[in-house]
Each structure stands twice: as C-alpha cells, then as structure tokens.
Chains A and B, each alone.
Chain A
C-alpha cells in the first residue's frame, strides 16, 4: 500500500462526483473540488491546516501491517484510507477537527471529544459504511450510515451536539 499524499495534491479525479455525464458537468465539478481544496487549506476554516489529513496519513501508515496493536489487529487497507480521506474532505468548512485513530478490525476512526460523557466516534470501513457511537451526557446514539460523498446529516448533528450543546 502506498499512501503518499501532499497537502497540495489535487483530489483524485476518480472521486469527483458530478450530477451529469457531460464534459461541462465534469469541469464544473472539478472546479468546485479545487475550490474546496483551497478552503480546506485555509487556516481558519480548513482541516488541512489543522493537520488532520496529515494525521490520517500517519495513522494509516502506522496501521498498515497486521498486529499493529499487539493484539492481532487487522491492517488498515488502502480502500479504508481513501474512504476516510473522502469523509474528511466532505466535512463542512468551519466544523471542528476530529482526532484520528484506528480500531483492531482495521477501520479508521474520527473522534470528536469534549469530555468522557460527551464524545462521538465514527468508524470508516473499506466499503464506505460509517459506524457511529455517541455519548451525549445521559443519552447515547449509535448506528450505521452509508457514505456516498456527503457527510450524513445525522452525523453532522451529532458533532454539533457533542461540541456545542
């Protein structure tokens, strides 16, 4: 697995989604993607400047071999990295940055943590499923949402509840 990535690397074109099949639709989507990349590198708005993309790469590299946790963990696969990358890139600008981790089954995790009883963890699978679990004071929420290019509204709401409410 080769996970080289630099901060100014343009987003792989195979991940650009368009609403149409024409060259014009592709061009517009590509330009929009470039705009997002610029905003992500913004100090105040973007996750890139906060080092989250770099952390994601470091965690994926550290966990690319079996048994990276000493208890027989599964390796993080290339597909998992790219799904996680796309998820991060799809977060709205200005949202708080998560910390990056990994689970023994090879899933990458993003965590928004305010306290031990106010926290959200999202696991990204190689298939693009998002398994989430949140402690919200005395209540909790957990489940699975598909990731198909946009961060599910439910997860955005949970981030907001964990960090701001």
Chain B
C-alpha cells in the first residue's frame, strides 16, 4: 500500500480511528469501547488511522486490511478527535505509510498513568460497529 504524502497537518478537531480487533474491548451494556483498547503495547506508541480525505468505505477497507494481515476479525472502530489526546499532552505523529496512518506518541512509561489516559480517551471515543455487508 502506498502512503499518502500530501495530507495536511493534523488539526485539533480532526477525527482519528482505532480499529477494534478484539470483541471484548466493546462493552456489551452500551456498545462503548473499554480503555483496554488504548493501552500502548508492544510499541510505546498507539497506532491510529486519520479520517481526513477518506470516504467512509475506504476507511473501513483500511481497517479490514489491517485485520486481514494479522489475521483477525474487524469488529468496528473507536473514533475520537485529535484534541482528545493532545490535551493529555500526547502527540500525534503521521507516518508515510500505511495510508493515513499515525502514531500517538509521548505516553508516560508507568502503567497507572497510561491507564488513566486510556480511560479518558475511551470516555470520549465513539464506537462504530463494522457495517453488515
């Protein structure tokens, strides 16, 4: 997959997606996403996909491609805006590829601090289930 190199700089209101490949990260009670989905591991960064410039169908295609390479089942995605992470003093670093990919960087090294940030992101994230078709 060729990376997009002409994307605009990330803005505070830009939407990001974290694809959910493990069903137990979705709460059965209200279909929201658990903070477990936002813990950075095994890398010190959290992998996300930028919505900018992508049609909805293309965004889902990227998620499916990620799932297929694992392989894993794509259950949906957690959408949140860039300011959700930047106001917690994290940074968003776009990467040349894959397409529209970015890393959320600057996580504190200790687990409790990671957990509280993950909880705050989860509290503001919206879960979008994978379309049935």
Contact = CB atoms under 8 A, between A and B. Distances in A.
Answer whether A and B are interacting partners. Answer: yes
Contact of A140 (B42, B71, B116): B116
Interface stretch (A80-88, A130-138, A149-157): A130-138
Contact of A116 (B24, B116, B122): B122
B119 A135 contact: yes
Nearest to B40: A104
B24 A59 contact: yes
Give chain A's interface secondary structure class.
strand
B119 A121 contact: yes
B72 A70 contact: yes
Contacts of A70: 21-22, 66-67, 70-72
B39 interface: yes
A74 B22 contact: no
Interface of B: 21-22, 24-25, 27-29, 32, 34-36, 39-43, 47, 66-67, 70-72, 111-113, 115-116, 118-120, 122-124
Given A73-B42, A135-B119, 13 more contacts: A69-B25, A101-B25, A101-B36, A104-B40, A109-B34, A111-B34, A132-B112, A133-B115, A133-B116, A135-B123, A140-B116, A142-B115, A142-B116
18 contacts: A69-B22, A70-B21, A70-B22, A71-B21, A71-B47, A72-B43, A73-B42, A74-B42, A99-B27, A99-B28, A101-B34, A104-B41, A104-B42, A113-B27, A131-B115, A132-B115, A133-B115, A142-B115
Interface of A: 59, 62, 67-74, 99-105, 107, 109, 111, 113, 116-117, 119, 121, 123, 131-135, 140, 142-144
